[in-house]
Structure 1
């Protein structure tokens, strides 16, 4: 079974202190480029552009990211719960033991990022970009990823469970070992030569056979 693999959960300490991003900016309470061991809740982070920022053992809850560019961000043991990350720039980031739960991630940019032990659960991730990213031990659970971009990704132990992948782009990406049978899509952009080893439903197989140029006789 392709979906039988374990995900390491974020290591979150108990009794995290409450903090704000503005507080960190003003007095560097945590460290120059590290925000660590805290909970950031019920706020907005607006117009920030910082490279190589690290979040370590941090919980974000009900936080909106607006015009935020955290290129080369490092996320280790982080939880995003009920957050809005739409159009946020995490490109070239390192994402390890991270959970995105019930969050809005429209157009989130994770291009060229490395994801390890990551779960996205019930997230709105339409138009999100994972192009050229490396995903290992990653689960997408009941997510909307319409028009998502997985162009030339490396997928290793990646699960898509009951996701909407309509018009997602997997061109240049090997789907060997990937199970799409529980997912919904009318159209998928894939490279025919990289479909071998992909598990699909009977209905999906018909759609893929047309992609391969076969004529289906009713």
Structure 2
């Protein structure tokens, strides 16, 4: 199984990440997407009462529940997970170093896909050429395919706008995780692990662990889940 150890800050400008317009709905492909609710109103969340911060997840496993996306990410084994952060403290939070990892039930860690990852999965038919040719004493450069317009449009609608969460506010947006090589069901026993959130003063918050099993249990009991925020 593949292993990733990529810093979020390295790909943050390209990540499909947070929607930071809490007061207004977003529109993508003509679909209305409601702003996120406070994190503790979702079935799967983790709260730190002493730090006054909560983080929730709301995955989408059925295309019909998140058909506001322009492309069928789920059909290509890229699972959308809406991550919601509620900051009930009096201090701004800094996300510039944050890590948000998908931890599978076997303990393997995966970062969120960036735009290049999504583009390769949905559109690439050949592997990029990057190896050396014996006759030529220089490497052949990798030529990256341009990002498909629909991916960049989704990024514009749901993309990360800032690395701060102001006091007494909630933000939320979608991360995409590659579940192609995971055993079915891929979310069972897995979790989203969030670490390296800092206060404006530089203090690091304790890590958040949000099990997908909480969300799965809510689906069985008929509570709101993926796509319910529309």
Bigger RCO (CA 8 Å, 6+ sep): 2
Q: TM-score, normalised by structure 1?
A: 0.19
Query: Structure 1 or 2: larger helix share?
Result: 2
